[in-house]
Amino acid sequence: MLRAEIDVEEVVMSNLRIKDCYIITMKAEEELITRGEVALEGDKISYVGEVRENVDDKNFDQVIYASGKVCLPGFINTHTHSPMILFRSFADDLPLMTWLEEKIWPLEDKLTSEDVYWSTLLAIVEMIKSGTTTFNDMYFFMDDMVRAVEESGIRAVLARGLIGLEGKGEVGLKETEDFITRWHNSCQGRIKAMLGPHAPYTCPPEFFREVLAKASKHKLPLHTHLAETSFEVQHCKDNYDKTPVELMDQVGLFDFPVIVAHCVHLTEEDMELMADKKVKVSHNPGSNLKLASGIAPLASMLGKGIEVSLGTDSAASNNNLDLLEEMRLAALIHKARENDPTVIPAYKALEMATREGAKGLFMEEEIGILQEGFKGDLILMDFQKPHLYPQHDLVAHLVYSAQSSDVDTVVIDGEILMENREMKGLDEERIMFNAQKQALELIRR
Phi, psi for 129 (deg, rounded to 5): -70, -15
In this predicted structure, the answer to whether residue 245 has a pLDDT above a threshold of 70 is: yes
Phi, psi for 63 (deg, rounded to 5): -125, 130
Angstrom distance (rounded) from CA 365 to CA 350: 18
Burial class of 46 by CB neighbour count within 10 A (0 to 12, 13 to 18, 19+): middle
162 contacts 204 by C-beta, under 8 angstroms:
no
Tell me, what's the pLDDT at 413? 97
Tell me, what's the pLDDT at 29? 87
Q: Does a cis peptide bond (omega within 30 degrees of 0) precede residue 239?
A: no
Interstrand relation of 308-310 and 280-283 (parallel, antiparallel or unpaired): parallel
Tell me, what's the pLDDT at 289? 96
Tell me, what's the pLDDT at 153? 98
> 8-74+367-428 is classed in which CATH architecture?
Roll (2.30)
- Average pLDDT of the chain, as a whole number: 95
Task: Compute the average pLDDT of residues 430-440.
Answer: 97
Q: Is 19 helix (H, G, I), strand (E, B) or coil?
A: strand
Phi-psi category of residue 143: left, alpha or beta, with phi > 0 → left and psi -120 to 50 → alpha: alpha
Q: Any idea where the domains of the chain sit in the sequence?
A: 8-74+367-428, 82-360
- Each residue's pLDDT tens digit, 267-297: 999 999 999 999 999 999 999 999 999 999 9
Tell me, what's the pLDDT at 80? 98
Task: Compute the average pLDDT of residues 222-238.
Answer: 97
Burial class of 370 by CB neighbour count within 10 A (0 to 12, 13 to 18, 19+): buried
249 contacts 273 by C-beta, under 8 angstroms:
yes
Which range has the worst mean pLDDT, 10-24, 114-128, 240-254, 377-391? 10-24
Sign of the C-alpha dihedral computed for residues 429, 189, 406 and 313 taken in this order: positive
- Each residue's pLDDT tens digit, 144-175: 999 999 999 999 999 999 999 988 999 999 99
Tell me, what's the pLDDT at 7? 41
In this predicted structure, the answer to whether residue 4 has a pLDDT above a threshold of 50 is: no
Model's pTM, two decimal places? Answer: 0.95
For residues 96 and 427, which has the higher predicted lDDT (pLDDT)?
427
- Each residue's pLDDT tens digit, 109-124: 999 999 999 999 999 9
Which range has the worst mean pLDDT, 86-95, 172-181, 191-200, 368-377? 86-95
Tell me, what's the pLDDT at 60? 96
pLDDT above 70 covers a percentage of the chain that reads 97
Angstrom distance (rounded) from CA 225 to CA 62: 43
Which range has the worst mean pLDDT, 100-104, 124-128, 371-375? 100-104
Per CATH, the number for 82-360 is 3.20.20.140
379 contacts 70 by C-beta, under 8 angstroms:
no
